[in-house]
Amino acid sequence: MIRVILADDEAMALRRLERLCAALPGVEVVAACSGSEAALAAMREEPCDAALLDIDMPGLSGLDIAALRGPDGPAVIFVTAHPEHALAAFGVGATDYLLKPVDGGRLDRALSRVRPARGAGDPVAVPGARGMRLVRPEEISHAILEGESLEIHTAQGPLICAWTLGELERRLPDRFVRVSRRALVSLDAIALLSPEEDGGAVATLRGGERVEVSRAAARALRRRLG
């Protein structure tokens, strides 16, 4: 499942983009924003894989949002009526650049560039102070971003590395789910999912650890767990 945020100040264009995404298998819209400030806030609050952004918006432009998203931010796909910004778009790390009116097939191809190719059981080479540590995915229960360091919790104890959470997620099979901007959890490690009053949840893992789950991630996680 690819989680996406949409941003366009034109209501008709935003609704059309939302409909196109809804028609694609494996795509979930976690926020549809009518302005750049709302889109930037949504990117900071909800875990997402891609942001589909218009460029010409009041206040911050789509290019500004892409530049501000941070190293662990989502992939950016621009959806715009202006071909002249393509060079600047790829200069801020855009994954793709779509011209309006975009069709579902072209959008699907753009999103396919965001979908990671993951081997189900391939070991992950985790860099550390003493060299590379090979860890099999089934050994990992969860990972937490603590400040600038990533703590990967394994059966042999925690590993500390300088990866972003997104870099680790791209190396793991899809049994691992992003439950917030700062946490990744293996579905196999979840023993209990407890609802919270704000719509989020707390995942209690088989080892007793408790991991906070955001509202959007809690909805997706409940659907996936049935």
pLDDT at 121 over 70: no
Per the structure block, which two tokens stand in for 186?
A: 């293996």
Read off the DSSP letter of residue 97.
Answer: E
pLDDT at 118 over 80: no
> What is the structure's pLDDT at 119?
55
**Tens digit of pLDDT for each residue in 186-201?**
999 999 999 999 889 9
- Contact 13/100 with Cβ under 8 angstroms? yes
What contacts 45, CB < 8 A, 6 or more positions away?
181, 214
Residue 108: which of 50, 55, 193 has the closest Cα? 50
- Is the preceding omega at residue 137 within 30 degrees of 0, hence cis? no
C-alpha pair distances (Å), 18 with each of 104, 138, 209: 11, 36, 37
The letter for the amino acid at 117 is: A
**Tens digit of pLDDT for each residue in 19-66?**
999 998 889 999 999 999 999 999 888 888 899 999 999 999 999 999
- Contact 13/19 with Cβ under 8 angstroms? no
Q: Read off the pTM.
A: 0.60
Measured distance CA(1)–CA(216) in Å, rounded: 13
What contacts 42, CB < 8 A, 6 or more positions away?
5, 30, 31, 33, 48
Measured distance CA(135)–CA(118) in Å, rounded: 15
> What is the structure's pLDDT at 168?
86
127, containing H or E segment:
strand 124-128
Measured distance CA(75)–CA(95) in Å, rounded: 6
Read off the DSSP letter of residue 96.
Answer: E
Average pLDDT over residues 145-150: 86
Measured distance CA(3)–CA(114) in Å, rounded: 10
Measured distance between the N- and C-terminal CA atoms of the chain, rounded to whole angstroms: 15
